[in-house]
Homo-oligomer: A and B are copies of this chain.
Amino acid sequence: MTAAQPLDVQMMQRALAIAADAARAGEIPVGAVVYRGEEILGEGGNRREIDDDPTAHAEVVAMRQAGRALGRWRLHDCAMAVTLEPCPMCAGAMVNARLGRVIWGADDAKAGACKSLYHIHDDPRLNHRLIGLGGVLADESIALLQAFFKTRRGR
């Protein structure tokens, strides 16, 4: 299964709503949802500024929550929808978590690690590879990011 399913699109819509919340909190608008079937196990937006935490990207926040919900760090039976292509940290975390699939929205030419700069999620040298699919509701994600940075520049 490599194409986005209706459930993936639905989860991406939830991730976009979380990203919009992050922007209102002054964080770069990225949101992520970890799910198993229709069940959401973890979700979150960027919390880097709020938490003074360099690792608090949306994906890390969502995967940590999913691990707590399941009582295990292995997320092999889960998928994640995230509004922006994961960076090296987040792509590495997905591999460490043995995540099953990742669906992302906009590509990130400057830091993307699933297509743009690296293919960390699908590196045969690492001990886990996962299915990746980008471009899902990408326009909505780009619109959120552009609006956020336009407002910032205006200050």
Interface residues of A (CB under 8 A from B): 48-49, 51-57, 60, 63-64, 67-68, 70-75, 87-93, 95-98, 110-111, 113, 117-118, 120, 123, 125-127
Contact with A97, one of B54, B73, B75, B117 (Cβ below 8 angstroms): B54
A95, B111: Cα distance in complex, Å: 11
Query: How far is B75's CA from A123's CA once the two chains are assembled, in angstroms?
Result: 29
Residues of chain B within 8 A (CB-CB) of A125 are 110, 117
Residues in B with CB closer than 8 Å to A57 are: 96
Nearest opposing residue in chain B for A68, CB measure: B52
CB distance from A30 to the nearest CB of B (A): 13
Closest-CB distance, A97 to chain B (whole angstroms): 3
* Cα distance, A67 to B48, chains bound together (Å): 10
Chief secondary structure at chain A's binding surface: loop
Shortest beta-carbon distance from A43 to chain B in Å = 15
Q: How far is the CB of A149 from chain B (nearest CB, A)?
A: 15
- Expressed in whole angstroms, the minimum distance between the Cβ of A96 and any Cβ of chain B is 5
Distance A113 CA – B67 CA, assembled complex (angstroms): 24
What is the bound-complex CA distance between A11 and B31, given in angstroms?
A: 36
Instruction: List 4 A-B pairs, minimum CB-CB distance, nearest first.
Output: A89-B92, A88-B92, A54-B97, A54-B73
